Structure 1
Amino acid sequence: MKRRTFRAEVAHVNRPLGEALAAELGVPLEEAARLVDVGAVYVAGRRSRDARTRLSAGQVVTVVLEEGGQSPLAAAPGPAPTLRILHEDEDVIAVDKPAGMTAQPTEGRVGDSLADRVGEHLKRTAGLVHRLDRETSGVTVFGKTPEATTALAEEFREGRARKRYLAAVGPVALPPQGTIDLPLSKDPSRPGRWRATRAANGIPAFTEYRVLHAGKDFCLVELLPQTGRTHQLRAHLTALGAPILGDKRYAGAAQAGGIPAPRCLLHAQALELGHPRTGAPVRFEAPVPEDLARFFAAAGIQAPSGPIRPLEPPA
């Protein structure tokens, strides 16, 4: 990723963002305005889509000039995908996050975030209480009021929210079910990665898993995280010698059995928690996306659905 950052000095104060950006980058005003339009410009850490915004003294402006080896203008997206709403009431909205979309605006990223899209739907800011990685698809919930957001956040903080993920991994010999109890720490040799090992002073992380299909080309696993750490499932599976297919960061294979894995094939399929108003248990489920569904079809099995089942006690 290539980006440029500058601070609004005297010459920029009260100047429109588009004009200041054009002057800093040495590009035509029209090009600077397009960078703003596609969501490549952040002012004081927040994405700005209005080139007429007046800058204040000291404000930091960041513009993404290249992402994934491509200019944000060349990669300017077409119409955003339709927001897939799984459930909505006066307190909660649950949506199916598409792969490739960030959960919330992140400085240095181009394009809409899921929080942006939900906010547009609600015509106000949505209360995001948990996050999925950019490439991960599936259930994400938002609170529609401050009270609901607080109550939902507490479900996650207190460990009452139960989650079911599905993933496709390479062929590996795993017990039919088990618990991965490996602390997580940042990998100093590979920026952006986490490692699951007892050899470092990491944070506790627990993942229960169930093998749904074990084949010569690939395996399908159901994952029940008991903690919610960054990259937990990706790092835990890598530690077992089974990185998720399509997960480039963790050396996951790009295909298996002749079926392509165009992204990290991890899907947050179900979420169970207490409703913020009534406390009654609710479950939200997101259909398995087409890229992962191909592996279920090739294995000749159905993806899990219904209540999230805990692991059976060992015999």
Structure 2
Amino acid sequence: MNDSDNSSRVRYLVVGEEADGQRIDNFLLNRLKGVPRSWVYRVLRRGEVRVNKGRVKPTRRLHIGDQVRIPPLRLAESAPIPGPGAGVRRRIEQAIVHEDDDLLVIDKPSGIAVHGGSGVSHGVIEILRALRPQARYLELAHRLDRDTSGLLLVAKRRSALVQLQKLQLAGRVEKRYLALLAGRWRQDHKTADAPLRKNTLRSGERVVRVDPAGKDAVTHFRVRQRLRGAMLVEARLETGRTHQIRVHASHLGTPILGDAKYGDANVEALAREADLKRLFLHAWRLDFPWEGKKGGYRLEAPLPTELQTVVDTLK
């Protein structure tokens, strides 16, 4: 059976080893190529998708042998979204910095989301699947904000994704970022230990605030270079909350340059002076152990040219 066929009848798929432990929403998105995300979540909400004859939530994880019922795709709903253009495909292909049997690592450009949705037709994962139509399995192992550049891990096997998830839960994936903060600290090291809470404004915009009722969040900062009106710092995460580095930097009184959401007028002025046109936040290094690989992984991605130029300007 062709999973991407716009069928007008009910279909049944049996879960194989490659999808063991995968969420039902990701399972459907991966197999129904071109079908809008909105359709997938709508039929899940209505109970039209069944697993072993029972209704399921989008977060339900599948197991080998599960039978998944897929409802008919109505032509009006199932018109395929045009695939990613040649230009963005080329950018992502050129951004691959490492690949082996388990992992594919991207130095993600700023301005590209990691996945489609919320008005974004294609993210990194959809572009990769378009580039590698023969790949049986490609799943994001973690996420980066759309405006953040740097290292992004993609699992090529279900077993690799599970191993990465376990390592992250155990705090054994060390993530380091480079950020340009406005202002100056007397000391070279600072730790932000402030709980964070997500809020959604009436407009639908998501904003994160420091809030005692929020989730624990810890970021360690180290000054690498002092510049005119700013500091190039390395940020090491203990936790991985939404917008964590951006909010913690602002909480310390030194927002990230180029941050329109959590910055201020002084930050905007300095960014204009340095001709900075994006958020200055880059995921530059990842360290983690790996079963069967002596020494584990140490992956690095230097600052993009446009960010290094800003550093040189403010020296």
Fold similarity call, TM over 0.5: yes
Deviation at 1:217, TM superposition (A): 2.1
* Residue equivalent to 2:207: 193
Q: % of aligned pairs identical?
A: 30
SS in 2 for 1:260: coil
Distance 1:144 1:134 in 2: 22
Distance 1:78 1:251 in 2: 35
Deviation at 1:40, TM superposition (A): 11
1:206–1:59 CA distance, 2 compared to 1 (3 A): farther
Deviations 1:17-68 (A, max 9, x none): xxxxxxxxxxxxxxxxxxxxxx99545148xxxxxxx97369968999xxxx
1:77–1:57 CA distance, 2 compared to 1 (3 A): closer
One-letter identity of the residue aligned with 1:143: A
One-letter identity of the residue aligned with 1:194: V
1:238–1:144 CA distance, 2 compared to 1 (3 A): same
* Residue equivalent to 2:242: 230
SS in 1 for 2:293: coil
Deviation at 1:232, TM superposition (A): 0.5
Q: 1:103 aligns with which of 114, 124, 140?
A: 114
Alpha-carbon contact 1:94-1:140 (below 8 Å) kept: yes
Alpha-carbon contact 1:172-1:241 (below 8 Å) kept: no
SS in 2 for 1:202: coil
Deviations 1:215-243 (A, max 9, x none): 34222111001111111101100101111
SS in 1 for 2:127: helix
Deviations 1:108-132 (A, max 9, x none): 223x211122223433341211000
* Residue equivalent to 2:312: 297
Alpha-carbon contact 2:92-2:127 (below 8 Å) kept: no
SS in 2 for 1:117: helix
Q: Does 1:130 align with 2:135?
A: no
**Larger deviation, residues 177-186 vs 272-281:** 272-281
Alpha-carbon contact 2:274-2:314 (below 8 Å) kept: no
Distance 1:276 1:62 in 2: 43
Deviation at 1:157, TM superposition (A): 1.5
* Residue equivalent to 1:153: 165
Deviations 1:169-222 (A, max 9, x none): 21233521021100001246684111124xx30100000000122334222111
* Residue equivalent to 2:49: none
SS in 2 for 1:193: strand
Distance 1:209 1:128 in 2: 26
Unaligned residue ranges in structure 1 (runs of 5+)? 1-12, 15-38, 47-53, 65-71, 301-315
Deviation at 1:278, TM superposition (A): 3.1
Q: 2:274 aligns with which of 259, 268, 279?
A: 259
Alpha-carbon contact 2:178-2:234 (below 8 Å) kept: yes
One-letter identity of the residue aligned with 2:270: A
SS in 1 for 2:224: strand
Deviation at 1:260, TM superposition (A): 1.9
* Residue equivalent to 1:116: 126
Q: Which consecutive segments of 4 or more residues in structure 1 shift more than 4 A?
A: 39-43, 57-64, 187-191
Alpha-carbon contact 2:183-2:229 (below 8 Å) kept: yes
Alpha-carbon contact 1:168-1:295 (below 8 Å) kept: no
SS in 1 for 2:261: helix
1:100–1:231 CA distance, 2 compared to 1 (3 A): same
* Residue equivalent to 2:100: 89
Deviations 1:79-100 (A, max 9, x none): 1124211111111111101101
Distance 2:118 2:201 in 1: 24
Alpha-carbon contact 1:184-1:203 (below 8 Å) kept: yes
1:279–1:154 CA distance, 2 compared to 1 (3 A): farther
Distance 1:244 1:256 in 2: 11
TM-score by structure 2 length?
0.68
Distance 1:126 1:62 in 2: 23
SS in 2 for 1:167: strand
Pairs within 5 Å for 1:1-315: 14=8, 42-45=37-40, 56=73, 79-80=87-88, 81-83=91-93, 84-110=95-121, 112-122=122-132, 123-124=134-135, 125-173=137-185, 175-187=187-199, 191-197=205-211, 200-252=212-264, 253-256=267-270, 258-278=273-293, 280-300=295-315
SS in 2 for 1:248: coil
One-letter identity of the residue aligned with 1:56: L
SS in 2 for 1:160: coil
Alpha-carbon contact 2:108-2:150 (below 8 Å) kept: yes
* Residue equivalent to 1:21: none
1:217–1:77 CA distance, 2 compared to 1 (3 A): farther
One-letter identity of the residue aligned with 2:123: S
